[in-house]
Amino acid sequence: MKNRQVWLRSRPNGIPQAADFDLREVELPTLADGEFLVRHAYLSADPAMRGWIADKSTYWPRIEVGDTMRAFAAGEVVESRNPVYAVGDKVMGIFGWQDYAAVRQSQVMRKVQEADLPLSLSLGILGLNGLTAYFGLLDVCRPRPGETVAVSTAAGGVGSAVGQIAKIKGCRTIGFAGGRDKVRQCVEDFGYDHAIDYKATKDVDEALAERCPEGIDAFFDNTSGAIHDAVLRRINLGARIAICGTASYASWDPWNEGPRPERHLLVKRAIMQGFLTTDFAARYEEGVAALAGWIRDGRLRYREDVLEGIEAAPASIAMLYAGENRGKLIIRL
Amino acid sequence: MKNRQVWLRSRPNGIPQAADFDLREVELPTLADGEFLVRHAYLSADPAMRGWIADKSTYWPRIEVGDTMRAFAAGEVVESRNPVYAVGDKVMGIFGWQDYAAVRQSQVMRKVQEADLPLSLSLGILGLNGLTAYFGLLDVCRPRPGETVAVSTAAGGVGSAVGQIAKIKGCRTIGFAGGRDKVRQCVEDFGYDHAIDYKATKDVDEALAERCPEGIDAFFDNTSGAIHDAVLRRINLGARIAICGTASYASWDPWNEGPRPERHLLVKRAIMQGFLTTDFAARYEEGVAALAGWIRDGRLRYREDVLEGIEAAPASIAMLYAGENRGKLIIRL
């Protein structure tokens, strides 16, 4: 049996394109003690993968040319030399863009227990996206009922969950998204009170002031840049700003410049905090239990964009940055 | 009896100068019910007063041309129509640059109870400066023993207290100050492990890396600007940055630009938080008790620069921004 892998052929300057990757076929790995073999059902494409490839400004070791692309994947254990993982177990973790992976405990994000829900959800709403929304909103933004929560990339895999959880917690929500379809999706599918099409809106400050005369109490930011600055200008006393991503910039080398936040954070006694979902690893099961409960209740909706076949993986990161997807982008094997 | 007042004659564009103020003599006020008359012994000059006069970017109503200058002052109650304040009580609060003030409860910061310590301390180390250091360091920076704490304007009224409290709490400390005298004062008087003369140091990044190879865990920032940026580049995972002031900029209108912190806060999972000491008003007595205890033990040193007479007040704000003072600047009446 062969294993197909998507590997990094050249280091991109900016957003990784399909041509930066190639496909190879290798022998199935032999398991070392403690390892188990996972047959992948789904591979993930995430905005963070750009940073994993970049030279700098990231939080994991960079991927070298020749390496199989690091990626989240979900699948079933088909062989095991680890007593904790039995054949038939469903697992999700950082297993790479490939058909099969020989996996060690340290690569596993979680064993998937929600047999009544699709396994693909473990890469999105019940995986990093949902958990990022859950902990970033509840632990970093700490919204109180009646407050106004702003969300950038509001229709995306993380943002759409943030907006819906904020509504579940009794907040008003305003989302930023690019394009009429996404804006409509924000309001109709994800229950945002307001959505601003940042691509079509000439004066975002004015649009924000009209829709949120009461100001912004919490901001879940996936973009940095112009949306970040506009929301910052509208924050209330004691606002909490969670920095989850910086998608509006293709590169952070050299550091991007912009309005300094210090004076405004001081005057507003506001908090700006960066966080990684992995900092909350000890509480993943709490998060998944809550998210799965809201999904079963019909209170938390999600959308998946499914690409077919591993051949679709190389182009998927560029699709994310082009804003072509409307939900969590996954590749079905 | 007459009351002399320093009033705002013209709104400065930038740092208030002596010529922006004038002195006038008025009748002593008649007390309304609930008011009491305070004869001032000391007036305060604080960096924040620039912001109180500026058009924008501040947290209190601006001072209008013709108004008596808003200022902290300390003195003794000499007449009272308020049952809580008796003749002979010592009080400190926002009473203005004048000889006497007819005061209401809302203007009082605290009744001064430390009869064994000089009343002037209530404007500095036992007043806003000490309390700003105490709450900003302990509640916002939250240093743990063994961590490294960086402080800007390290020899100033607030900074010198921050550095000493951090040492009391078992931290390593590094201070930034301008000029050889202040740097020597940091190390000799205030116990900093390291001090960097930011005016004489060509490469602040290099100096910081040499002195703090272990990185910075907490940063108490009074300046914004170049020092802020250099420290930010050296922070460790989970760092806490308290924004207390932005003294390196004479104006924030329009907003100053600089390196965007979002990506770095994300990668470092760091917190940047603005705070005002007045947010901790309910805990002032806790803070003063701790500070007074350290002063009596000889573990907390302070320095006062005393100007003589109310005529010295108009020039005092510009002195602060010129860095001419070496401790808490007060005016003795």
Task: Give the pLDDT band of residue A57 (cuts 50, 70, 90).
Answer: very low
CA angle A198, A199, A203 (to 5 degrees): 55
Say if the Cβ atoms of B228 and A264 lie within 8 Å: no
Q: Residues spanned by CATH 3.40.50.720 within chain B? A: 128-278
What pLDDT score was predicted for residue B146?
Answer: 98
User: What CATH number should be reported for the domain whose range is A2-124+303-332?
Assistant: 3.90.180.10
Distance CA A51, CA B309 (A): 61
Q: Under a CB-based contact definition with an 8 Å cutoff, are residues B138 and B114 in contact?
A: no
Measured on CA atoms in the order B132, B138, B142, B145, is the torsion positive or negative?
positive
User: Which residue of chain A is at minimal alpha-carbon distance from B272?
Assistant: A272
Q: Under a CB-based contact definition with an 8 Å cutoff, are residues B254 and B57 in contact?
A: no
Distance CA B43, CA B219 (A): 30
Strand partners, A307: A331
Q: Which is higher by pLDDT, B243 or A253? A: B243
Say if the Cβ atoms of B262 and A276 lie within 8 Å: no
Exposure b/e, B170-197, CB count within 10 A at least 16 = b: ebbbbbbbbeeebbebbbebbbbbbbbb
Q: Among A221, A270, A274, select the one facing B269 at the smallest CB separation.
A: A274
Q: Residues spanned by CATH 3.90.180.10 within chain A? A: 2-124+303-332
Q: Is the pLDDT of residue A212 over 70?
A: yes
What pLDDT score was predicted for residue B325?
Answer: 77
| Residue among A302, A303, A312 at smallest CA distance from A332 | A312
Q: Among B224, B264, B268, select the one facing A260 at the smallest CB separation.
A: B224
ipTM of the complex: 0.88
Q: Is the pLDDT of residue B28 over 90?
A: yes
Contact residues of B toward A, CB < 8 A? 57-59, 221, 224, 228, 243-246, 249, 252, 255-276, 279
Say if the Cβ atoms of A259 and B255 lie within 8 Å: yes
* Residues in B touching A244 (Cβ below 8 Å): 266
* Residues in B touching A246 (Cβ below 8 Å): 262-263, 266
Task: Determine the distance in angstroms separating the CA of A260 from the nearest CA of chain B, rounded to an integer.
Answer: 5
- State chain B's mean pLDDT as an integer: 95
What pLDDT score was predicted for residue B58?
Answer: 57
Share of chain B above pLDDT 90, in %: 89
- State chain A's mean pLDDT as an integer: 95
What pLDDT score was predicted for residue A292?
Answer: 98
State pLDDT tens for residues B155-182.
Answer: 988 999 999 999 999 999 999 999 999 9
What pLDDT score was predicted for residue A55?
Answer: 66
Q: Is the pLDDT of residue A91 over 90?
A: yes
* Residues in A touching B279 (Cβ below 8 Å): 269
Backbone φ and ψ for B162, nearest 5 degrees, come out as -60, -50
Strand partners, B98: B5
* Residues in A touching B221 (Cβ below 8 Å): 262
What pLDDT score was predicted for residue A59?
Answer: 63
What pLDDT score was predicted for residue B250?
Answer: 80
Q: Under a CB-based contact definition with an 8 Å cutoff, are residues B252 and B57 in contact?
A: yes
Say if the Cβ atoms of A224 and B262 lie within 8 Å: yes
- Measured from the Cβ of residue B8, the count of other Cβ atoms closer than 10 Å reads 23
What pLDDT score was predicted for residue A84?
Answer: 96
Q: Is the pLDDT of residue B57 over 50?
A: no
Say if the Cβ atoms of A256 and B255 lie within 8 Å: no
Distance CA A160, CA A154 (A): 5
Task: Determine the distance in angstroms separating the CA of A50 from the nearest CA of chain B, rounded to an integer.
Answer: 13
What pLDDT score was predicted for residue A250?
Answer: 80
* Residues in B touching A266 (Cβ below 8 Å): 59, 243-246, 274-276
What pLDDT score was predicted for residue B56?
Answer: 61
State the CATH class of domain A128-278.
alpha beta
State pLDDT tens for residues A165-184.
Answer: 999 999 999 999 999 999 99
Q: Which residue has the tokens 């909706």?
A: A301
